[in-house]
Amino acid sequence: MRKYKNIFTCVILIITIGFVTYNIDSKRISRDKKPIFVVPTLVAKDGGSTVYRGLGYKVIRWNTISIRQVDGNEVQGFMTGYEISTMFNSQDINDGPKKDLKFVINE
């Protein structure tokens, strides 16, 4: 019986840590800051988009090369932004971003 209690306690502890780290990283991403509790797992060849994994969630830092018209001139830059998804609603990097990204001029 004691063995099952220890296993149950460990599972609850891991789930709780996952919720806490997800909430902290989600709030940082909403402020366009880098998440803390994640590990980089993949870098795409689209300009440097990076996939990070946390405990039960995934963060994608979009960084794609783009050309825009600014004041009638073509300007090269990057489309940047963060997206977070849970393991139940995971997003693939090949599907592209689901939210609007910010254009940053390459200097």
CB 94 within 8 A of CB 42: no
Quote the CA–CA distance of 54 and 63 in Å, as a whole number.
Answer: 20
Residue 99's alpha-carbon distances to 4, 34, 46, 65, 68, in angstroms, are 44, 17, 17, 16, 18
What pLDDT digit, counting tens, does each position of 48-86 carry? 899 999 999 999 999 988 888 878 888 888 889 999 998
CB 55 within 8 A of CB 17: yes
The pTM (predicted TM-score) of the whole model is 0.83
Q: Which of 29, 25, 27 is nearest to 37 (CA)?
A: 25
| 10 CB neighbour count, 10 Å cutoff | 10
Q: Which two tokens stand for residue 94?
A: 């090949």
What pLDDT digit, counting tens, does each position of 10-38 carry? 999 999 999 999 999 999 999 989 999 99
